[in-house]
A and B are shown apart, each in its own frame.
Chain A
Amino acid sequence: MKFWLGRRREETETALDKELRFHLEERAAAWRAEGLTESEARRRVRQEFGGLEQVREECRDVRPGEWLARLAREVRYAAREARKQPAATATVVLTVAICIAVNTAVFAVVDSVLLRPLPYAGADRLIAMINQYPNAGISDQDGSSAGDYVDRAGQMPAVAEHALYRPISLPVSRNETPVQTDGLSVTPSFFPLLRVRAAGGRLFTTEEAEIGKHQVAVLTAGLRRELFGDGEAVGQTVRISGQTYTVVGVLADGFRFVSPGIRFFVPIALNERDRRARHANNFRYIGRLREGATVEQAQAQVNALNVRLEEEQPELRELLRNAAFRTDVKEWQSWLVHRTKTNLKLLWAGAMLVLLAGAVNLAGLSLARAHTKGREMATRLALGATRRDLLRQSLLEGTAPALLGGVLGMAAGAALLPFADGILPLSGADIRPGWLVTAYALGGALAAGAFAGFIGLAPLRGMAIAGTLRDGARGGTQRGTAMRRAFVIAQVAVAFVLVAGAGLLTASVQALWQVNPGFRMDQVWTASAYLPAAGYGSVDGQRAALERATEAVRRVPGVTMAGGGSEPPYQKNYDDGVVMAEGYTMRPGESVISPVQLRVGPGYLETLGVAPLLGRLIEARDRRESERVIVIDEKLARRFWPGENPLGRRMYFPNSPGEERVWMTVVGVVRSIRLQDPSGEGNPNGVYYVPWDQSPRRGMSLVWRGREDSVAAVRRTLEQALPGSAVFHVYSMTERQQLTMVPREMAQHLTLGFAGVAVLLSTIGLHGFLAFLVAQRRREIGIRLAIGCQPGGIYRLFIQDGAVLVGIGLLLGMGAAAGLRQWVTASLYGTGATEPAVLAGGAVLLAFVSLAAVSVPAWRAARIDPAAVLGDS
């Protein structure tokens, strides 16, 4: 195919030449016949005919499909030019490759998470419904209740399908040791709502939501392989939490819901009590809008339904109103990503700044080349090339290497992506580059290249051809130099913004590592276990299990202290529960609060080094049959008994009408601790501690103090003490903090990378520009040196020139950083005091690096040999 095209082109070219030659020779013959000499005739013909090459070009232009051939020709020319300057071309390719790699990686995440619809049919009609109680301190939760599911089905015309789901983490096994595995319990409506089918077997039937018929499971392809290898899974049984479940279906490879960690599904079996529970918020709610219905309609309908339900429950009305209860209806995908969205957008902005810095660098390079190419361009203009031809050529010379860099960068960026997948939990998206990412990356590369090519032509505008031919490159350089100056300044400014951002993020991460969370971290270890229903179904079994486990761990050599409770510190999710105080009258409109609830055994708080401020901690005497007690933190003490001693006062959980109220006596007050996150984020209402023995459950955790070499022994001991359960999340407290820091450190590392690239680019830009200035003024420098100017003076001259550029750039960068400040500081922790120091440090660092870049050409200038320079001309 290619061969054929080539041959045909060649034939056409020869024919054209033959035709034109015939004309020229006939004409020459005619002039000779009139008496002109051979050479006079030839000259005359050339004059009449015009530029032969131009005529050829125009004849080619009218051919069909000619633009393609022309492009190919120009690409070949551009490639030849590029090969002539390998260093400059390599700089362009590398610059673009780095910028595009960064942008590909970041944009692939943005595209996957924010832009691309989730991989379910009609995903745009999926909605989340979330109960919020802002005045009770619960304004960013994700809960709904089984009662809501019962109430709403059939009462909301805008919502065609409803489902509940709840993340669960249970020990799963076939025969061997159980492995703690994440899964989801779902209503049978869940899979049809997502339009998901089973790859093998079937999904859940409506009857399987009934207690007694609910012991069936659907596995992901990955878990199926792990448990059954190549064997058939459907119809087999697995043990989940010690109970036997029948596998009824297997999902297709590649299916995932929210997190790839979710690997099995079981039906939610609701009893009558569950079905009446409203405001328990122990489930998550997903719905599918009817065709044509809107989120707003669904919101209006759920609002009306809530009002109706409040009227039916006068005893709750006051409470709910004071808590400012509402149900949010959100488009599901945007709700899933609402917490990561801002950070992603900031990262994207950072990546774009890097690309901008890169494009500016290319433009500077291209301007530099324009100076040296000025004579060539003027020659081509004189030979009949139009300005449009030159523009096209220049754009092509800019874009061809940029495109190469773009392709390389895209490959590098795609290679970085697997790392991104782990960073964005709960995005629901599968992070992979799609066509939009390709378009974005190549488009970015092209735009940068075209920008550079276009800027490279700027000095040619209004250029006098004759002047340029005579003077070499000097015509039109004034404007070019001014532009390069502006570019260098812009680069320094952009680099400063990124350096400042990276510095602040780093300071924030450092500050978080310095935080005193209010509990001991050093040599403290944690582990979690989930007690299977088989053997631990009774509360007595659960009580005994914690006691047994704690005792066993205490006996492990190297362990000095141990205690058990519901969760360790720095966990993602905690139970919370509304708690009230006897004799406390709420102000009109005041809401109840729902602080974090921890159930702890003796030794738990002691191991964490949390000492009582007043009274005592939970002790071994706080048994099931003894007086019910509660330990509260300072926040709760201040709220319910400001200025008074809370010891001996009584508290209670709100009870349904007809239920007996259970009183708890406050026996101790402890310091507030940063339980959920070192930044202190999380439930703003505080924490209370109740004895494990008085309200045990199946999920438990151990904390202990001891040497690192005892950890393996503790794990073994726990597995022996709690047969049938899986022991998981064995971490030191430092590792737990590390886990809370992952998203922040990720952002920090990315921004540091961006800043590094931007500084590198601005350094290259500065160096290039100063080197150009020196080259341009070689003669002048030579003369100055010849008439007695000291080399030191020359050096200072250029250093000053560079310092002015850097200074202006830094000032502009500071202005921009101040303007952007409010967007960034919201996601920073504890940088208020260190901010000026960080910014100053960034400025000093950048100034130092920049001046180093400037000093190389300045030093070269000072070493110019006047004799050699003046000898040149």
Chain B
Amino acid sequence: MSPAKSDLPQGTLDLLILKAVAFGPVHGYAIAQRLQQISQDVVQVPGGSLYPALHRLENRKLIEAEWGQSDTGREAKFYRLSVLGRQKLQEDAESWQRLSAAVALILGMPEGETR
């Protein structure tokens, strides 16, 4: 059936969206698709969370939006990273990697050693 889904830790969605829009202008639907594909279906962002997050990031000037033509020839709203967003992405990605490495280290401890 479908692979086990994980709940995203608080604030992670913003980071993932920033990463997803870092490759160039992309519309909301494509962002959702991209996150799902790359994470091999582990991350599934319902529209109910995605769009408020996009609008929030836009309001905080981390991403910029522009209307354009989609692959299917329809009008769609395309998002891309702003200068501010690129900085934010870099900082957050680094801190996330540090943290996840640390968590991995801790979880990787052989269990007998604590005695």
Contact = CB atoms under 8 A, between A and B. Distances in A.
Interface string A20-35: 1011111101000000
Contact of B70 (A15, A22, A24): A22
B55 A62 contact: yes
Nearest to B67: A15
Contacts of A24: 47
B96 interface: no
Interface string B4-45: 000000000000000000000001110010000000000000
B55 A50 contact: no
Contacts of B56: 62
B67 to A, nearest CB: 8
B77 A15 contact: yes
Contacts of B75: 18, 22
Contact of B46 (A25, A48, A64): A48
B29 A26 contact: yes
Contacts of B51: 19-20, 23, 55, 58-59
B52 A48 contact: no
B47 A62 contact: no
A22 B74 CA distance: 8
A58 B59 contact: no
B100 to A, nearest CB: 27
A25 B32 CA distance: 14
A54 interface: yes
Contacts of B97: none
A27 B46 contact: no
B2 interface: no
B80 to A, nearest CB: 15
A456 B32 CA distance: 42
Nearest to B50: A23
B49 to A, nearest CB: 8
Contacts of B47: 20, 23-24, 48-50, 55
Contacts of A27: 29
A63 B59 contact: yes
Contacts of B93: none
Nearest to B27: A22
A861 B77 CA distance: 63
A19 B48 contact: no
A315 interface: no
Given A48-B47, A49-B46, A50-B47, A62 B70 contact: no
A51 interface: yes
A61 interface: yes
Interface in A1-52: 15, 18-20, 22-27, 29, 48-51
Nearest to A57: B52
Contact of A54 (B48, B70, B72): B48
Contacts of A25: 74
Interface centre among B27, B52, B59, B72 (most CB of A within 10 A): B52
Interface in A53-84: 54-55, 58-59, 61-64
Contacts of A50: 46-48
Interface residues of A, number: 23
Contacts of A48: 46-47
B114 to A, nearest CB: 43
A837 B102 CA distance: 84
A18 B67 CA distance: 11
Instruction: Determine chain B's interface SS by DSSP, over half rule.
Output: helix
Contacts of A29: 72
Nearest to A62: B56
B57 to A, nearest CB: 9
Contacts of B27: 22
Q: Is the interface of A mostly helix, strand, loop or mixed?
A: helix
A738 B76 CA distance: 84
Nearest to A30: B33
A22 B26 CA distance: 13
B48 A49 contact: yes
Contact of B52 (A15, A49, A55): A55
A58 B46 CA distance: 13
Contact of A62 (B28, B32, B59, B72): B59
B55 A23 contact: no
A610 B32 CA distance: 105
B3 to A, nearest CB: 16
Contacts of A58: 48, 51-52
A724 B28 CA distance: 99
Contacts of A20: 47, 51
A19 B76 contact: yes
The residue among B29, B46, B74, B76 with the most chain A CB atoms within 10 A of its own CB is B29
B28 A23 contact: yes
A539 B13 CA distance: 103
A22 B55 contact: no
A63 B55 contact: yes
B5 to A, nearest CB: 12
A61 B72 CA distance: 30
Contacts of B77: 15, 18-19, 22
Contacts of B48: 49-51, 54-55, 58
A64 B59 CA distance: 7
Contacts of A23: 28-29, 32, 47, 51
Contacts of B52: 55, 58-59, 61-62
B87 to A, nearest CB: 21
Given A22-B70, A50-B46, A59 B29 contact: no
A20 B29 CA distance: 9
A26 B51 CA distance: 15
Contacts of A54: 48
A27 B72 CA distance: 12
Interface string A493-522: 000000000000000000000000000000
A50 B32 CA distance: 15
A22 B46 contact: no
B55 A26 contact: no
A50 B52 CA distance: 13
A50 B51 CA distance: 12
B34 to A, nearest CB: 13
A54 to B, nearest CB: 7
Contacts of B70: 22, 26
10 contacts: A15-B77, A20-B47, A27-B29, A49-B46, A49-B48, A50-B47, A51-B48, A55-B48, A59-B52, A62-B52
Given A18-B75, A22-B77, A58-B48, 6 more contacts: A23-B29, A23-B47, A23-B51, A49-B46, A55-B51, A61-B52
The 10 closest A-B pairs by CB, nearest first: A50-B48, A58-B52, A49-B47, A62-B56, A26-B29, A23-B29, A19-B77, A59-B55, A55-B48, A62-B55
